Amino acid sequence: MEFTQLGRSGLKVSRLCLGTMNYGTETEEKDSFNQMDKALDLGINFFDTANVYGWKMGEGITENIIGRWLAKGDGRREKIVLATKAYGQMGEGENERRLSAYHIKQACEASLKRMQTDHIDLYQMHHIDRLTPWEEIWQAMEQLVREGKVLYVGSSNFAAWNIAQAQGEAKARYFMGLVSEQSLYNLSSRTVELEVIPACREFGLGLIPWSPLSGGMLGGALKKFTKGRRASDYQKEKIEESKTQLEAYEDFCNELGESPGDVALAWLLNNPIVTAPIIGPRTMKQLEGSLHALEIILDEDSLKKLDEIWPGPGGQAPEAYAW
């Protein structure tokens, strides 16, 4: 396993991040435990979750599963960098969502209890809160850091100007601020190249891409679909919309002698701003196979071909659309 620093922080994390969103819904608890054990065996030390995962309001199903796994002991907690998120609605009350100081404290305490730990290594804001001022957000986060309940703070689904605003306010308070941004980023979704990635580079944030395989579409979906693999109506629609690109992509991966999913991950890992794509394997075989992406080296010709198949926005703003 390869490791890198999380943004400008001194924290070292694995180049692949284990995503736990399916734990408790698509993946049963026993299989979730086995996956986390295997991830550790493979050298993956970066685990990502969120208080809303499990998708039953207020229950924190996935965090509870992680907590029961950590409670098994054997140094599990000390071996991982544990990341979770707050923002989503966790109850019927008006203050049981978003990023008020009230909810940040409440959400953090609840996540700590569910995960049976005394601290969160990376506490991420799951979305920008346009109603809460930054002085309130940072005051709440600073308090959690002082208490030792949170070590680092990250963002998720932020626009570039949100990152700039957050860091400006943090600097004025002599606070470290954000160390990472978790964004939708893959070969077929490259909007963040316009401004988010330049902002991460400027402010020293590590980029953690979610949905690196575009919901499975970049994992050989066309070939699997034509062989009779079941797909949801949404997936079928996405595959039909991108059929020409998928044909070219899967043919090119075949020329490389690599699986489409591995090439998609390798393409992300080629970007120096990317810390670790979030993988969400359904099976143990998929988890083990993901590590091969770390071995793939894409040369300039291969990167150019991928750009032709999956064109980005044309670079960063404003040059992508102006001069």
Task: Kindly list the catalytic residues.
Answer: 53
Q: Is 132 exposed, middle or buried (0-12, 13-18, 19+ CB in 10 A)?
A: middle
Alpha helices in the chain (DSSP H): 29-42, 61-70, 76-79, 101-115, 134-146, 160-172, 196-203, 221-226, 233-241, 243-256, 260-269, 284-290, 300-309
Side by side, which strands form the sheet with 17-19?
206-210, 178-184, 150-156, 120-125, 81-86, 46-48, 17-19, 278-279
Q: Find the helix packing angle between 160-172 and 134-146, rounded to 10°.
A: 60
Give the pair of three-digit tokens for residue 132: 């809460």
Query: Cα-Cα-Cα-Cα dihedral of 271, 277, 283, 289, to 10°?
Result: 30
Three-class SS state of 293: helix
List the one residue out of 275, 102, 309 whose CA is nearest residue 204.
Answer: 275
Phi, psi of 186 (to 5 degrees): -160, 180
Helices (H), 227-283: 233-241, 243-256, 260-269
* Residue 278, H or E segment: strand 278-279
- Kindly report the backbone phi and psi dihedral angles of residue 45, in degrees, each rounded to the nearest multiple of 5, phi listed first: -110, 0
